[in-house]
Amino acid sequence: MLPAVLGLGIMGFVFGAGLFLASKKFHVQLDPKEEAILKTLPGANCGACGFPGCAGLAAAISKGDAPTNSCTVGGAEVTRFVSKIMGVEAVVKEKEVAVIMCKGGKKESREKFRYIGVHDCKSAALIAGGNKACSYACLGLGTCERVCPFDAIKIDGNYLPVVDEKKCTGCTLCAINCPKFVIKMIPESNKIHIRCNSIDKGAVTRKNCTVGCVACRKCEKVCPLGAITVVNNLAIIDPLKCDNCRKCVPVCPTDTIENYFEGEIRYASRMEEPESKVAAAG
C-alpha cells in the first residue's frame, strides 16, 4: 500500500513540476494596452461586439483590428476610456435600444393553429412558420427574454415582449435570436415607432391582425420631413430623418404607430378617449 501511495505522490510531483516549467516557458506577456482595455471593458462577455468575449475584443482593439467604440454595453463612458488608452479621439455612438416591431399579441393577432410544444420561438417557427396567421408576427414564446443577459425584456400577459429601455444596453442578442426578425435596434432618441413587420397587402394584414400596417400611406403623406416611406406594403421610419414631431401618430387608422415618450398618449385611438380614462389606464 505504501509503495503505491509513494508512487502516486512522486508522479504528482513530477507532473506538477512539468506544468510549472511549461507555464513559465510558454507564458505570453499581455500587451499593456490590451490589459488596460480588458480592465476597462464591463466583463459582460455577451459577444455583441462580434468577438469571443471581452478578452477577444480587448486584443482586437489593442492591435487596431476593432474601433474603440465597439463595446455597445459599455456605452459612451467605456468608449472614452478605451480611446484614451489607445491615444485616439473618442467617437461616441448614440445608444441603440431594442424595439419590438410587432404589437400583434394574443388579443390582436389571429392564430392558424394551436401550438403545443417547446416554449421557444425558434422551435415553434419550425412548424409551418409558427402558429400566427401573420407569418411575420412575434410568436411571443420568450426566446428574446431568455437570451437577454441584462434582464431588459419581459413577456407580458398578451404574449408580447416588453423592453425596459433603461436596462437595454443595445447588445443585439435578442434581435439576432428572433426567428421572425421583429426586433430592431433603434437610436434611443427616436421615440416614434411603426410597430409592424408584415409585408402582406393591407387586406391580408387586416384579416390576420387588428393592429397591423395596411399601407394606407397616411403617415407618409403627413410627415413634413419625408422620414416615412411605404416599401413592400409596410411603412418604415428613417431614424436619421425623423425628428419625433408625432404628426404621424394620430393619423394611423390601425394604431400601428406608437409614441414612446413617457407620459404621452401612445397611439391614435387613445387620443379619442376621455382624459380621465386615458389617465386611469396610464
- Nine cell digits for residue 29: 506577456
Q: What is the reported pLDDT for 135?
A: 95
Residue 262 has pLDDT above 60, yes or no: yes
Architecture category of domain 189-282 in CATH: 2-Layer Sandwich (3.30)
Give 119's pLDDT tier (boundaries 50, 70, 90). very high
Q: What is the reported pLDDT for 253?
A: 96
Residue 228 has pLDDT above 60, yes or no: yes
What global pTM score does this model have?
Answer: 0.80
pLDDT digits (tens, 9 = 90+) for 67-101: 999 998 888 899 999 999 999 999 998 999 999 99
Architecture category of domain 30-93 in CATH: Orthogonal Bundle (1.10)
183: number of Cβ within 10 Å: 24
Question: What span, in angstroms and rounded, lies between the C-alpha atoms of 273 and 29?
Answer: 67
Q: Once rounded to an integer, what is the mean pLDDT over residues 203-208?
A: 96
Q: Kindly state the DSSP code that residue 92 receives in the 8-state scheme.
A: P
Give 276's pLDDT tier (boundaries 50, 70, 90). very low
Domain 95-187 has CATH 1.20.1640.10: no
Question: Half-sphere exposure of residue 135, counting CA atoms within 13 Å on the CB side?
Answer: 8
30-93 against 189-282: fold identical? no
Residue 281 has pLDDT above 60, yes or no: no
Where along the chain do its domains lie? 30-93, 95-187, 189-282
Q: 215: left (phi > 0), else alpha (psi -120 to 50), else beta?
A: left
Amino acid at residue number 14: V
Longest dimension (CA), the chain: 92
b/e 256-275 (16+ beta carbons within 10 angstroms → b): bbbbbeeeebbbbebeeeee
Q: Once rounded to an integer, what is the mean pLDDT over residues 23-43?
A: 76
Q: Once rounded to an integer, what is the mean pLDDT over residues 94-114?
A: 95
Give 15's pLDDT tier (boundaries 50, 70, 90). low
Report which of residues 177 and 2 the model is more confident about. Answer: 177
Percent of the residues in the chain that have a pLDDT greater than 70, as a whole number: 85
Q: What is the reported pLDDT for 277?
A: 52
